[in-house]
Structures are given as C-alpha cells and as structure tokens.
Amino acid sequence: MSTQIKPDPKTKNRSSGERHAYTGPGMIATGEATALLPTETTPPIKVFGTESIRETFDDLCLQQAVNSRLAPGVTDLVLNPDAHCGYGAPVGCVMVSPTHIYPGPVGVDIKCSMSLLQLDLPAEAIEDRKVRRQLISAICQRTPTGAGKGQRSAVKSRHVNRTLGKQLVVEGASDDVCKALGIPTNWAHRCEDSFHVGHDETADALESRLETLLHRRDMTNFTDKMQQLGSYGGGNHFGECEVVEVGDNDRAREVAETFGLHDGKVAFLSHCGSRGFGHILASGQFKSLQTKFDQWGIPLPAGDRQLVYAPLGSGEANDYIDDMSLGANFATVNHLLINALVLEAFQEVFPGVKGNLVYFISHNIARKEIVDDRPAWVHRKGATRAIPGGHHSLRETPFAKSGHPILLPGNPCDGSAVMVADEGAAASCYSVNHGAGRVLGRRHAKRVLDQTTVDSEFESNDVLSNCRKYPIDEAPAAYKDFNEVLRSVKSAGLASEVARLKARFVIKDASKADD
C-alpha cells in the first residue's frame, strides 16, 4: 500500500498557514533538531528543525514531501527548517534523482538567488536618515522593482539590446558579457556557478535551443524580457542595505576574512531570480510536460500535475535542462548587474567608495552533483547548497579550505545571516534552508496582520524603505522565527554562523505596497 496522498482539490492551492487534515505518517524526532518522516515504501524523509519549527510545517507541505519522495527515480528527500507548501514539491526541500529531472523542485523562478556586496564604508556613514534616503533614490534610479518593470522605468539603468541578451543567456557571466555591462570580471569567481551549459555540457546546445525558442509565440517578447536585466521583481524579492556584525569567535573571524566580510562596514544583500524570462521558460516546460503526460496516459505522482518529470537522456529532459540553463544564466547576470548598479549608486552618494562581491548563490536550481559516489541531479527548491571546506567541489575556488558563504535572509527587523557549512551537512545532501520560510500565506497575512503595527516595527528598528507602506504580506510576522530557524541549522550540525547582517533600509516592490 502506498502512502502517496493526492492533494485535495479544495486545498491544493492554499497558502502556508491555512491547515487541513494530513492523513499520512507523523514525524519521528531523532534529536534536538532532526527528525524522520516515514513513508511506507521508501527510506524516510530527513527533516531538520527543532520541535517548534517542525510544528510550522503545514499539512500540504507534508503531503507534498511524501508525494515527492515517492515520485519515480527519487532517492533522497530533505525538508529544511524553512519548509512550507510550494509548487508540487515543498519550498525548503532537497530532492535527489540519478535518473529523472523534475521542474517542480526548481519552480517557476529559475535560479532565484542571493548575492552580497561588501563595501568599504563604515556603518556610521549611513546613520543619517537623509543619507539613506539619498541612497534609496540612487539605487531605485538604477534598479527597477515590480513584476513587469524593466530598464525604461529606471533612468540610470543599463541598456541591454537583443544581441547582448542572446549572448548573456547562452554564456552567463563570461568576460565579454561582464565587460559589456560594466560588471567587474573578477566577480564571476565569487559565484556558485557563473555560467550554465546545456544538456550535453556545451554552450552550443543552449545557442541551438534559444534559436528554437525564439520562434515560439510565447517568446516574441524576448527583447522586452531582456530589458528586465538589472531589476528586482515583486513578491519576496528585495535589496537590503546591511551593517556587518562578524561573530565573536576565532572561527567566525577567520572565515569572515576569507569571505571578504568586514565587521562594522556596510554591505548590500539582494534576492531575485530570472524575472519574466525565467517564468516563460518554466511555464512552457510545465505545460509541455503536462501535455505529454496527458497524451501518453502516464500516471502523475500522487495525481499532482505539478510533479511532472522527464527521464534523463530523453528529448524532454534535454529540453528542460537547456531551458533551465538559459534562465539560470539570465539570473546570474541579473544579480551581478544589480550589484554593479548598487555599487554605482553608493559611489554617487559617497565618491570613491569601493565594493566587492562576497558571493552569489542559488536556491532554486537543479545541479548535477556526486551523491553516494554516483552522478545525480540535486534539485534544491528554496534550499541552499552548503559545502564545507575540503570538499572536492570547491577545489580551485577561493573557498576550498573554508567552505563557501551561505547567504540566509531573515527579515529586516531580525536581520539576516552569513553561515558556513560544517561536516554534518553531508546528512542533508549538502544543503540548508534558503531563509526563514513563510509561516503565513500572502492572503492570510493580509487578513490577520495590521499595517500600522508593521510600519511602527520598522520605525522602532530604524529601518527605512522605498515603500510608503511596507508590503504587509512581506512583513516579518509572515515568516518563521529566524533565530529558531538558525538554531535548528546549528543544532543539527549543518552550518555555523559567521556574521549577522543588520538592515538599515530595504528596496521592495513599491507599486504593490502603495496600492
């Protein structure tokens, strides 16, 4: 008998925080911050989170976890502390398959990512609220926000024409692309992946696939989508000015030096992905695979159309990998350009200030990695890679000895964190959470949270924003307790804290917030 649970159509689209009955097996605690979620036909799902964090996993999240674990070809599934219901697979999960590729555990925002820019500017320089307002204005003149916004809405943005757009989605952050956009070429060495290749591990496959896509009806606006390069989207995407607080211990100080983090200095944290271009690619893949399943009569995992898949080596899998890589290359260059524009904005207000990229890392991507001594596709959906020092995959990188930076956004009032993986991360498929994780769905948050209370919290913490009213569905109370999330990661032996980031101002989608 299978424990696959078909989503109730009445509850399938409910957001986190709106519960309904879960009839599957319960979690079994194995430690302070570890547990197992059994299934009846496979090894159990590994769960990371303290008891109070595990209580935030809503029923649909658990259903999606079990359904994903029992899907064809899946050998491992991990739930991180930030887990909540997502698109087919939970947000905050890691899904491993040596034989199949799954769009659901990547999602519609291909390579949604985090990046951190360190500036040589002391925190005291931005104490004055008028100075911060100047910086907000300078950044917003260069980096648009909002779902449909592009370069035309920011007077000092970079122009990207069709030719350069085609080049960058094929090459990623190549030297030529970076030079054309005014991005320091050495920043490519501070990326988890500065470029992605096609299914046959060549850029030629991407170039060929792109030419095919450009003849499709839904890609007629390709040039317009390239105009979104260097911009934030809506929802939970943001730019945030920070003050770095390095941990008060020898390891934190040593690792911070390797990372290029400077205690008491200003930094800038960004969260965004592949924008409209990635959404078109992902949506097209879901529709195409769902049509194939219908035509061929293939049973869907748990009857969930969001868990479609393709066997590796098939034409469908090749097309998905190519499309994902095109979207991922856009996301990479998008982040690097945002950081270049943010640095330019700081230099407008503080002439002569210098900055360097600390790291750029994804949390919505499938990567080919070695798992249990064999190649497999590791799908991280709202999950961040966490590789400790000494691991073979970090050879010839600046982080070979230390492990790479892990960038974890919390919320503007409680701060964010930079962590580094510990040896125990092997238990989680070398992954941790991608942030705090939602505890209230967007509609639920709008119903139960008070705008005045949200705005006064920002005022009391002296955190400014470009929004007249901070988006209530993005309020700190809509997310899990960030300190408890971090305690889960540390107690489970997955990663250690290197630094905290204290927010001084936030750039969000002002169009939605001010409606």
- Binding-site positions for GMP: 236-240, 363-364, 416, 434-437, 508
Q: What are phi and psi of 472, to 5 degrees?
A: -65, -30
The neighbouring-strand residues paired with 433 are: 383
DSSP single-letter state for residue 109: S
CA 306 – CA 241 distance, rounded (Å): 36
CA quadruple 144, 459, 416, 486: dihedral positive or negative?
negative
**Gap between the Cα atoms of 384 and 363, Å rounded:** 5
Output b/e per residue, 400-438; b: 16+ Cβ within 10 A. bebbbbbbbbbbbbbbbbbbbbbebbeebbbbbbbbbbb
Cβ–Cβ < 8 Å for 109, 271: no
> What would the two tokens of residue 514 be?
């001010």
Question: Residue 272's closest CA among 175, 179, 337?
Answer: 337
Contact 90, 84 (CB under 8 A): yes
> Binding-site residues for Mn(2+), please?
109, 237, 271, 363
Query: Phi and psi of 62, rounded to 5°?
Result: -65, -40
Query: What 8-state DSSP symbol labels residue 387?
Result: -
196: annotated active-site residue: no
Distance of CA 377 to the CA centre of its chain: 17
Q: Within 10 A of 55 (CB to CB), how many other CB atoms are there?
A: 11
465's CB contacts (< 8 A; 6+ apart) are: 136, 412, 458, 505, 506, 507, 508
Beta strands, E only, 17-171: 28-31, 34-37, 45-48, 76-84, 91-97, 100-101, 113-122
Q: What is residue 402's three-state secondary structure?
A: coil
Q: Pairing state of beta strands 374-381 and 91-97?
A: antiparallel
Between CA 301 and CA 309 the distance in angstroms is 9
- Catalytic, out of 84, 379, 434, 444: 434
Binding residues: 109, 236-240, 271, 363-364, 416, 434-437, 508
Stated length of the chain = 515
Query: Tokens 């290359």 correspond to what residue?
Result: 329
CA distance 156 to 231: 12
Catalytically active residues, by annotation: 434
